[in-house]
Each structure stands twice: as structure tokens, then as C-alpha cells.
Structure 1
């Protein structure tokens, strides 16, 4: 399979070009393009989150913990929580980070197997829909623009994840000897049918997330218009 640097570099380049294309077509602004690029890069590391000794695991869980802290701080600094004390502003984010780092991560390591459920299209779709739902729910206001950003965010996570799975499958083919390694087929799969329980609950969660997802028609309309895209300078 491909190593950490390969996954990181290819995901960074591919999702960066994708974000630049949307920016050039004037479908998103610069801040959104940078955000989508970041998410796409993280998506490119996401399937290796089930590897207990992986650099990807360290990177992703640190980012998850940091993101959880930012979300908590964002909520605490909102109008709903204007009376939050300094001690609460310090202690609550620290507790959230500690819980993610030292409680959620060990549990996750215990219940996952490398190249298991996390190395599947169903897992990537679930993560993409979770990101879409999270951005849609935590946004300060509900608008067409927020729904577009939410769907694009989930889409870039999915894109980065698919790139990861494709790379692992390509590295399962030994082109020098024109042979197929035993790991072929273990990376890019629809679901981990060896773990039927996780697969079943993942499908249920996906159905629920699709049901409560933000409106998608605005995104479809937005991505249907490429009239502003200019490939070469005039």
C-alpha cells in the first residue's frame, strides 16, 4: 500500500486542483477554496485512521480533537453563552481535547482493524455526510450559501478518501513483475462485510443523515454552471 507521504501529497495536489477549479469558475471564494483544500487533504488520510501505529492516525485524531475544541469554543463564544467565565473557557476545551485524545481514540483503536470498515466506500460516505451535517448545524445562520459549503465540504472529504483507496489498490499491483499482490482488493471495497454489525449501523446512519441533510438542489444548480471557467489567460 502507499505510504503516508504519498497519500498526503497526492490528496493535497488533487484536492487543491479541484478547489482551484471551483475558484476559477467563480463558484466559491478564496476562503472556501482553502477550507475545501484542507478537508480534501484530511480525507486523503482518513482511511488509515484504523491503523494503531499509523502517522495518519496521530495526525487525524489530533485534527479531530483540535476541531472539536474549535467547535466548543465557537459555541461558547456565541450569543447563547455570553456569560461564560474565563475558567470555563479554559477548562472545557481542555476537557474536550483530553476526552478525544485519551478516551475516544483508545476505544476507536480497540474496535477497529486495519483495512477493515474504515477502508470502505460506506465509511467514507458516512464521514462525508457527518461533515456536511456538522457544518450545516453549527453555522450561525441557515442560508443557501451555507448549504452549498456544507455539501462541498462533505464532497471534498469523500474525494480525498477515494483517492486514498485508489492509491492503495494501485500499490497492490507490482508493475515491475506484472503481478497482483495479496493485498489487492482489500483497500477499495464497498463495505467490510466481515463486520456485518458495523456495516449495518453505518448504513442506518447514512440513511438518517441523508434524510436530515441540507437541501442539495442549490449545489446541483451551482455545479451545473461552468460558464465563468477560463482555462487559459486571454
Structure 2
């Protein structure tokens, strides 16, 4: 496989047509080597329009979804970021190149170790990985400038919203199968939030995700 050609094709054929036009984001996809964050068995499909499997049964997000979320969050160099769902560490690496500091949290010890190793081996020094259940956010370190939820949420817990700074942005995949909304939520002030529906997709729910209340008759 010609890796650089495959990367170019991913950017031009999958990502740019998905309205990812921010040149800084497109450049970042060449800087952060996705193939280094994909399990070795799947290296050949690192740039495919697929959700690449991870060792624990979870999957990496589609490349176009990762890039679009990165563009919508518009992380700045002075900002602190919380990511919920570390996976292989790839999204944390992308975020870290744009942020002052990233904390990524995962409930799986195996994925925590994988993300730590991948970030270290790729020279990402401003991202740390924590083991824990982030389905209601991560109060230690709050408030954050940016929160990125890299897994599905049937409902978005208020606790996560409260961990945003005023002016902060949160990206989450909200809803249930078959269609969920990718939302970017901006905190306007202490009580108000602006919600933008960016696109529709389906993302596997986070382990431990809060479930909607069930009706009782």
C-alpha cells in the first residue's frame, strides 16, 4: 500500500466532500499519522471509509466524522479539552495538536493502555489518559473549554453541560439507533446553551451511557 497516496485519497475523496474545508484540519490529517493509531492487523484499512475495529470490540470513528467534529469544535491553542472515550488515542492526538492540554478518559483498561502507548510513541506530550467512567463527564479538571464525546449518548446528561466554561463547546452524538444527531453545543452563560445539529449518523453508545427514562403504565 502506498500510504501517502491512501492518506491523500482519504482526505480528498472522503473528508473534503463532507464539508471539511478548514485547511488547518486537512493539514493536521497529514501530520497525525492515523496508521500509527490503528491496530496492526487493520493497518491496511487505516484510511478506508470504515469504523476500524479496536481490540475490545469498540471501533474508531469514521475518518470523515473525526475530521468534521474537529472542524466544528475549532479548538484554540490556549484551550483545555476533555475527551470521553479514548479509543486508540487518535482523536486525542488530533485535539492535542490544536489545544493546550487534552484529558481523555476511557472505561476500558486495555484501551487506556493502548491510547497511552500510541500517544507516547507519536510524541504527543500534552495529552493524558485516565481510566474511568466518563459517561457523566469528568468533574476533576472542570470546567473545560471543549468537551468531545467520542461515543454515543442516548441522552446528554446535564452534568456534562455543567462542566463547560462559558463560551465552551461540546460535541456529542445524541440519540438512539438507527439515527443519532451529531450536535455541537455552546455554553452562552450560566443557564443558556445553544444547540446546533451538524449531521446525522450512528455511533455505538458509550459503555455506561445514561439511558432515557422508560415509560411506566
Shorter-chain TM-score range: under 0.3
RCO higher in 1 or 2 (8 Å CA, sep ≥ 6)? 1
Higher share of residues assigned strand = 2
Q: Which has the higher helix share?
A: 1
Structure of larger gyration radius: 1
Instruction: Provide the TM-score with structure 1 as the length reference.
Output: 0.25
